Chains A and B, each alone.
Chain A
Amino acid sequence: MRRPPYFWLQLAFTLLVCSFLLVPVFMSIVAGLTENFFVGVKSGFTTRWIGVVWELYAPTIFRSMYIALATLAVTLVVGVPAAYVLAKRPGMMTRMIEEFLVLPVAIPGLAIALALIITYGGFRDFRTSWGFILVGHVLYTLPFMVRSVLAVLSSFNFQVLEESAASLGAGFWRRFFGIVLPNARSGIVAGALTVVTLSIGEFNLTWMMHTPETMTLPVGLADSYASMRLEIGSAYTLVFFIMITPLLVALQRYGVQSTRTRKGA
């Protein structure tokens, strides 16, 4: 196949942009695996720094994981029914509630964190527990779950599916779990992946809200960059990549699937 002359130009440009984005990532990974980054790769490769990170920051890694899962659980239990109700009653009120839900995305995380501290700071046990971080993460990620599910529910006429299930004798819960949820699955999966990804990577809110006992991975990253060797910070970044990359790949795959509208089903 003959390629048009501008093909090579486009390819070169694409590669240039990609390298602009990927080289820093690559450099960071290399730094995390190098014995001494200032000496360079000739100082040799090692996984020693990853070991150090594990020793120092393992709790932050696990904490990030269970906070992400807890955030997911709450957004599923709250967000999916909320999206269902919003989809069922379209109108002015629905639009307004939807906009309110999205507000936390637009407001700086620091401001939300401050508001939460002002409001709940007095409850000492709560303030110092990871539940406090959870509240922040739920506030921040809930709109992503709601919107994702709402988009799928709006893409097919689920009300008529419910009506036909009802005509066949199915009561509300049976319809909700047997018909509505399975057909909204792609939106729920995409929303879930978004929520987990955002929660694991969340820094703004968490940095402001955390105590030494409730430090998460991204806050730990900032801590290591500020006070540790460059190699340790980089190795820590590497751990973060390993956690987040599968999620991003899955998000890409299922996110694309859910935007493909169901035709005439």
Chain B
Amino acid sequence: MNGKVGTAIRLVDCAKTFPNGTRALDKTSLEMRGGETIVFLGPSGCGKTTLLRVIAGLESPDEGGRVYFDDEDVTSQPIEHRNVGMVFQSYALFPNMNVGDNIAYGLKVHGVAPDKRAKRVDEMLRMMQISELRERRITELSGGQRQRVALARAIAVQPRVLLLDEPLTALDALLRERLRIEIDVLLHSLGITAAYVTHDQGEAMAIGDRIAVMNKGAIVQTGSPREIYYKPASSFVADFIGTMNRVTGTLRDGALELPGGRIDWADQQGSGEMQVLFRPNDARIVDDARAPLRGVVEQQFFLGDRTRLHVTGVADRTVVVETTEHREFRVGQSIGLRIEPGALLRLRD
């Protein structure tokens, strides 16, 4: 165990091909700064869990790949020598031990003296607010309690890096939301380097200092949640994170002409027919009479904190618009829209 926190992690040319020939991960290089939380986000089978297991030492990268913890090359070290904390989707708590013994297990393995061990377990239980569960059997715990124990067990040994593999996926929505916030606070208060695997974009946005979006065994974009959301590098990223409108218009006289009106395009380049993208909350509903774009409400969904509208007539296809206004809309109602030119995106692919 080392006292300092925030080990930097560096992957160099790490690929993974399984014995049956499946290539789970293409050559990947990645740097994680000490203390940063990075989220690997992508659909199932995109290689995110394989990448996590390469960092953990549960899988070794193909020939040529290297893994560094700070300046130490750990590529050939098995997981038990890397001092990583792991949290699994299935919790992986030991059913033959009670809660306290589960948390103490890693300390025992590391040879921590019994009195120090007990103190550390107390500290962990308090930190996760589960002190009353110390003597409980694992089978008596709810899913949320199990995940707290799993986190406590992983953190107790002060690992160099914390690796979380879909830790919240097995929980119900409300609990997921709450634990997500707690994990975020916990990771930042510990200052520990963390890698977090999820297929849930909401989770990724809430927890990640950076998000690495993955597809088909490769990282397709790395950036802050804001960058990923507003400046997606490809249409895959744009479509995978949130809702994206994709419309085709013609550029003429410094404006992009759409079936329902026009968007100013003065200071942007390009000519002729072109496709642009924008987020639902970047289209603002404005007074019908002076609106640069017009359309008709086809459907409305009241989502509580906002209202989502499907609007036809604006572009070559239905666009999705979101507003936080409290007013109600009618299906068939005509509305005006304005899209700021700065909110428009153009993608190469």
Contacts and interface: CB of A to CB of B under 8 A. Distances in A.
Contact of A179 (B58, B96, B143): B96
Contact of A265 (B81, B84, B95): B95
Nearest to A184: B96
Interface centre among B81, B85, B95, B110 (most CB of A within 10 A): B95
Given A170-B109, A265-B139, A164 B86 contact: yes
Interface in A161-180: 161, 163-171, 174, 179
B58 A183 contact: no
A156 interface: yes
A12 B86 CA distance: 60
Contact of B85 (A157, A167, A171, A185): A167
Contact of B110 (A164, A165, A169): A169
A133 to B, nearest CB: 36
B154 interface: yes
Contacts of B154: 167-168
Nearest to B138: A265
Interface of B is mostly: mixed
A185 B94 CA distance: 13
B96 A182 contact: yes
A17 to B, nearest CB: 38
Interface size range on A against B: 20 to 34
A160 interface: yes
A262 interface: yes
B164 to A, nearest CB: 12
Interface residues of B, number: 29
A168 B92 contact: no
B256 interface: no
B79 A163 contact: yes
B279 to A, nearest CB: 38
A164 B92 contact: yes
A165 B94 CA distance: 9
Contact of A169 (B90, B109, B163): B109
A170 B80 contact: yes
B90 A167 contact: no
B86 A174 contact: no
Given A263-B139, A265-B95, A265-B139, A168 B90 contact: no
Contact of A183 (B85, B96, B106, B143): B96
Given A167-B84, A169-B80, A183 B92 contact: no
B50 interface: no
Given A182-B96, A183-B94, A168 B88 contact: no
Contacts of A164: 86, 88, 92-94, 153
Given A157-B90, A265-B139, A166 B96 contact: no
A87 to B, nearest CB: 16
B332 interface: no
A94 to B, nearest CB: 15
A182 B154 CA distance: 21
A209 B94 CA distance: 45
A174 to B, nearest CB: 7
Interface string A245-265: 000000000000000001111
Nearest to A159: B92
Given A165-B105, A167-B79, A160 B88 contact: yes
Interface in A106-160: 156-157, 160
A167 B95 contact: no
A163 B59 CA distance: 11
Q: Please indicate which of the listed interface residues A167, A170, A171, A183 has the most CB atoms of chain B within 10 Å of its own CB.
A: A167
22 contacts: A160-B88, A163-B58, A163-B86, A164-B88, A164-B93, A166-B79, A166-B80, A167-B56, A168-B106, A168-B153, A169-B80, A169-B83, A170-B105, A170-B109, A179-B96, A183-B96, A185-B96, A262-B95, A262-B139, A264-B90, A264-B139, A265-B93
Task: Pick the 6 closest A-B CB pairs, nearest first.
Answer: A168-B106, A265-B95, A182-B96, A164-B92, A167-B86, A169-B109
Given A157-B92, A163-B86, 4 more contacts: A160-B90, A164-B94, A169-B110, A182-B96
Interface of A: 156-157, 160-161, 163-171, 174, 179, 182-183, 185, 262-265
